[in-house]
Amino acid sequence: MEVAELQAAMERAWGGLEHRHNGYPRAIDKLLARIDLWLDGEDAVFIEFGWDEARADGSTAFSVSESDRMWVTVLTERFALRVVIGRQPDSAYLGSVRDWTLVERRKLVELEPLMSGNEWERGLRFRVRFEGLAETLEMPSSWDSTSSVGDDRAFFRSLRDDLYAE
């Protein structure tokens, strides 16, 4: 995996941090370097950087800079990585890593296509759960996601094969 690939995915989702604070928080470079180190030599099949709209105080964040929880999900051919970052809304600082979990993809225990109405035309989304990850994930997280998947059917087949591998 290339740092440039991570950087591009981060900029698509977290671009509001740069514009809000005259450059990205310095901790982002460290985060990207740490992800790159752990997944060195792996080819990414799914990368998504995101943030939660719901804030801990019950209010709604309308941009990444207002959010108090940001996250990264990366799947390679062998691994699933989930990073959750807590932060002070409207702060120039990235915040602290609350959770850093790397599991083997063969630890997949749930795979469910998400279907409603004519959304199939927009591509596939699915719910996944890995043994060892604290939360069930939706991939991509929304229809408006900035994730990089490539061929979503091939990605689904690869997850299906992980789920039913012997």
pTM to 2 decimals?
Answer: 0.87
CB 125 within 8 A of CB 115: no
Residue 66's domain comprises 3-163
- Tokens for 80, please give them: 């699933």
- On the question of pLDDT at 131 being above 90, the answer is yes
The whole-number pLDDT of residue 98 equals 85
State the total domains in the chain.
1
Give the residue-averaged pLDDT of 71-99: 86
- On the question of pLDDT at 66 being above 90, the answer is no
Give the SS3 label for residue 50: strand
- Average pLDDT value for the chain: 85
CB 1 within 8 A of CB 43: yes
Question: Considering only CA atoms, which of 98, 123, 122, 107 is closest in space to residue 75?
Answer: 107
The whole-number pLDDT of residue 118 equals 61
CA angle 40, 41, 45 (to 5 degrees): 95
The whole-number pLDDT of residue 150 equals 67
- On the question of pLDDT at 147 being above 90, the answer is no
